[in-house]
Structures are given as C-alpha cells and as structure tokens.
Amino acid sequence: MKDLQERKERRNVLEKKLADAEVSEEEHNNLLKYLEKRETEYMRLQRHKMGADDFEPLTMIGKGAFGEVRICREKLSGNVYAMKKLKKSEMLRRGQVEHVKAERNLLAEVDSNCIVNLYCSFQDEEYLYLIMEYLPGGDMMTLLMRKDTLTEDEARFYVGETVLAIESIHKHNYIHRDIKPDNLLLDRNGHMKLSDFGLCKPLDCSILQEKDFSAANNLSGALQSDGRPAAPKRSQQEQLQHWQRNRRMLAYSTVGTPDYIAPEVLLKKGYGMECDWWSLGAIMYEMLVGYPPFYSDEPMSTCRKIVNWRNHLKFPEEAKLSSEAKDLISKLLCNVDQRLGTKGAYEIKVLIHGLMVSSGTNYIK
C-alpha cells in the first residue's frame, strides 16, 4: 500500500509540474507514459529478488580502487542498466563502507530528476551490486575532452542543472565532496544528472604538513613537492593541451584527482555543504577555460595551489571570459563564509538566472 501511495504522489507531482510548465497535450501524455513505464520497471525489480546472474555484463564505463561500473542488460526484460560492482573486502580495507552505504541510501531516498536513479541493490559473498539508471549521453568529462571549452551560454545551462542536482542532495543533508565532470552524466536529451561513478580513492594529502600549505612556501609556485623546479608558465593553449593529455590517463586512474576539491576538505579542518559549491566553481572554470583553475603537473602541487587560491586563481586573457562569468566563478572559489550558496542554492540560481536572461537564454526552473 505504501508503494502504491508513493507512486500516486509522484504522478500527482509530475502532473502539477507539467501544468505549471504549460507543455502541449502530446508532451504531457508522453511524459506520463514514460513515468508509468519507469514505475512498472521499478516495481518489477523490487518484487523479484535480483542477483548478478540476472544480468549480462557489457561494456565497462568506469573502474576504480575497489570496483567497476559496467553497462549491463537484464536477461529477462532486455532493459539496459549501469551496474556498479564493489568489492567488499577492498571497501572494508579502505574504510569506504559508510560512504557506499550513504550513497546507496541517498539514491534510494532522493526522488529527483537531477539524480541518477537506483533501481535495486544486492550482494553476494564478494561484491555489493548497485543497479542504476544508464545514461547514454556520456559525462561532462568526455564532453569537455571533445569540445575543449563550452560557450558561456552552454556553461550556464549545465551549471544551472548542476545547481539543481546539488540542491536536491543538500536538502537530504548529504554532502557529495567529490563533484567533478566525471560525475556529471548526460541523458539522451542532454540534461544533467549527478552520480558518483568515479570509484576513485581520495587523494592522500596526509603526508603534507601544515607548513606545506603556507602562502610563503607557495607564492611563486617555483618548486614541486620533491624540490624539483616547477614547469615554466604555459599559455592557455599549452596548458589546455597538457591537461587534455593527462585527463585521458586519469579517466581510468585509481589515484584520484584533487582539482575540484575545496580547500577546507583538503585541510581536514571541518567542512559543510559549501564545499560542493567550490567544486561547482572549479568545474565552471574548466568549462570556459579548458582546464581546472589550479591544475599542476602533479597532484600535491595542485593541493597547495587550492589551499592558497588567493595567489593562484587567475583568468587567462586568451579565454576572453565575460566579467559576469568571472564574477560568478570568483564568488564560488573563495572563503567559505563568503562563498555563494552558503545561505542556500537560491543565491546561485538567482545570479545564473539573471545572467541567462541578459543573454537571452532560457533557464530551467
């Protein structure tokens, strides 16, 4: 009875949204049919006790320190899903059990078009399996590798959709902490959904001492962590080419990348939901410039730059960013107490909406 009531409520919510959006009768009926199909699929999976043998593994789309993600096909229905397969012994060894539990609970709890759907989960002696929605549009990382940079209108659209996704998890008191282009997935219509397919372990910054993060040691960025001279300053195009080469190698790496992590997370001095808005700023910068704002040849140098962001946040002249875009990024890549989004996602939505209206672009409510 509870499931049927929840199903009815979801339909009522969709019908209200469709009425407010003033869509055509044909679009209205098509969306309702799509919802019914998804609901039926979900209920069937819930009724039947699933196991790994019910699915045919296909192409691998993600690999990390303690698991992998594959496209799979359910043998009975032929439906295609993304199967996240996590090795339990590695999860325990790396202390990731609570993180994975939190992700599973979040995906099951949050009913949002901005979050990848979780259909069911099960386990055997060795692995935990999450059967999730498969999004055929790829991810933002792949899109950026293909296009190098986005126009400001494109960036604002994707940033706007990412804001909605982050807001939906924050409403459930969940902090993502690892938002990056790899985790921003695109559906067949080009809309964004937030996931956590990276499976990469966090970068271990514990070997760094407090003095390593001091501004005095990082003003010039002249030395790398092993004392070797840093690479000479590159032009935007040279930096873009270097980033693209390394990005392809990082795609299947288990090391993790700190490029989008907020300074307060790196310093491990306590952090809140604001850290996700920093990640959004770093991603928007990459969308427009072509590489992350604090990118270095090695991860530890990137960490130092992030913590000393005042000295290292620069906008290359060749990128020709508008003053509005620079302003938005600067209000996300800043101190926690001044960071846009600290008082709620509406702060960012209002600013993005204003920018889109001024450029003649429609903003998704």
Residues forming the active site: 178
Token duo for residue 92: 């325990």
What angle (nearest 5°) sits at the alpha carbon of residue 173, between those of residues 32 and 71?
Answer: 50
87: annotated binding-site residue?
no
Q: HSE-up of 352 (CA within 13 Å, CB side)?
A: 29
CA of residue 192 relative to chain centroid, distance: 10
Give binding residues for ATP as ranges: 84
Q: Can you say which residues are annotated as belonging to the binding site?
A: 84
